Structure 1
């Protein structure tokens, strides 16, 4: 049962206006008096209505100094709160009811404020973030160097780039430039550190450039694009429904952490061409994850502030993806075999 408890505090002079709003959004609500001529309303509503309630409350009472509201998750309620097509609440009777597709994708989505709250801490560059990126990349590098897939998966579970990646897609969807800049900066710093960490491994131990776990990160194939798109869509879908961050991390880290680590390993080991291939894989994966993430957010009904800006960003990501995919086709047709041969020559095989 996806139910939220919304606590609202505001002056007692605003109660009539508030109750008219709550009647359109909430299944049940209670009123209580608190010190300082304030009133407290406790409201129960389905998760899918949280977004529009908070939006209307901000529009109506955002300029009231003593107004505040809090959202909490409810594990159980009695009598139960059910919803079907006949009992659903509409914001405006003049608006058409949502389609089956809209109901299906938006029913269990968290509100925008809840999504922000889930990733806010991960957009700040802290020592703990830098250390997590460092150790995650070290683990991934050593796992690829020895061909141990399970070790690479362990690095994915740590998922240090999860928050910035989701923040970038979320900011692009709703048109929040401030969040986008923070997410982009944090992601860039983490990516550079991941390459440096991989380079430390490449300079410290003997590297066989033809190990499949490493070699697979030097070439992009159509299956890699499909994997990245699926990772972005599945990760955003799980994140927007409050799923375990570890689960979401595996979905997205599979497309980001290993290529960055492989880039550093190959650079330090003296194989710049292979390092370029791994960095190219990271670039195309990042574009795929963001494009799929934005599309999934929109499919779930996340409201953009400016449809033109959001559509433009999605169009840019899509165009870049097409260009990178075209380069992939040419490179795969003309260069992969020669790259393997050159690596064999350089490594003395």
Structure 2
């Protein structure tokens, strides 16, 4: 079973309370004195209990300037940390017992603090981030232009929009407005650079607008909605279990990067109607990824600060999705989103 090593540094007067906390959350821990009058505790904690331990520590000692805690991943533990129904550590009496669904999905999930840490690093707008977004869009655009699916997948593996996308869903789930604003800003700037990279391709490189890899990004079908929902759910599920960023990047980028590149390419080549179709596909994908991402975070038991706020945000995203889906159905019914209409526009 996955485990973490939690290192805790605390002054002597608080040791009694700390050991009572550790007894509720840890299987094993060791104590040693360190310079500066502090005590160091090395604790082996099952991954599923890491979050509640950190929450308990923060509530008890967060105001103490001498308190520090660090979490490290463990590849192996001997003797192994095992658990069954009889040996399961009890919850605090003031905590609501998890549902069977939460228990199942949260068993190997990273703690909220670890998820925050992973996402925070990708929310900084740096030259390397902007360069990665631009290169990803260029690779995706060139792959779509030449009809090479493998090249498009190569652009997805770069995964520059992974962090902001996950950050947006996480912020809505836990009700963190500051995180949401940072994620939205980083994502918006990344999208602008991706579109501009596509525009440059459309202006400088000869484009065949009927290439299937490009043309498919101008039409929204019910299957595209299902794909984006699956991408959001699978991306969050993999991300919260510490999967490779490249793996998660493919799940997310399949719904975001290619449409952005297609928008720019069609704009640069002068096909504004086709560009609007790609923009519509991107909007549908972004909303679907957030709806599915928030739902999966909640299923895995991430604790919202305010259920009313989180429920309200999820409802807003769901309403937008319903409106976009209605527009998609209307476009298909009226012929604006049909293959014949798109082909006629691109051929003209």
TM-score bin, normalised by smaller chain: over 0.9
Deviation at 1:92, TM superposition (A): 2.3
Alignment correspondent of 1:207: 207
Alignment correspondent of 2:341: 338
Alignment correspondent of 1:302: 302
Residues 258 and 96 of structure 1: CA distance in aligned 2, closer, same or farther (over 3 Å): closer
- CA–CA separation in structure 2 for the residues paired with 1:269 and 1:49: 54
**Corresponding residue SS for 2:63:** coil
- Output one character per residue of 1:259-297: Cα deviation in whole Å (capped at 9) or x when no partner: 000000000111100000001100110000011000000
Which runs of no fewer than 5 residues in structure 2 stay unpaired? Answer: none
- CA–CA separation in structure 1 for the residues paired with 2:290 and 2:98: 27
- CA–CA separation in structure 2 for the residues paired with 1:137 and 1:97: 45
Aligned residue runs from structure 1 range 237-248, under 5 A: 237-248=237-248
- CA–CA separation in structure 2 for the residues paired with 1:275 and 1:121: 32
Deviation at 1:62, TM superposition (A): 0.8
Deviation at 1:98, TM superposition (A): 3.8
Alignment correspondent of 1:35: 35
Aligned residue runs from structure 1 range 320-331, under 5 A: 320-331=320-331
- CA–CA separation in structure 2 for the residues paired with 1:154 and 1:216: 18
**Corresponding residue SS for 1:120:** helix
1:76 counterpart = 2:76: yes
- CA–CA separation in structure 2 for the residues paired with 1:141 and 1:236: 26
CA-based RMSD of the aligned residues comes to 1.2
Deviation at 1:31, TM superposition (A): 1.0
Alignment correspondent of 2:158: 158
Q: How many pairs align?
A: 345
**Corresponding residue SS for 1:279:** helix
Aligned residue runs from structure 1 range 123-134, under 5 A: 123-134=123-134
TM-score, with length taken from structure 1: 0.97
The answer to whether the 8 Å contact 1:90/1:97 transfers is no
- CA–CA separation in structure 1 for the residues paired with 2:244 and 2:311: 29
- CA–CA separation in structure 2 for the residues paired with 1:229 and 1:186: 22
Alignment correspondent of 1:217: 217
- 241-250 or 166-175, which moves further after superposition? 166-175
Deviation at 1:168, TM superposition (A): 0.7
Residues 121 and 95 of structure 1: CA distance in aligned 2, closer, same or farther (over 3 Å): closer
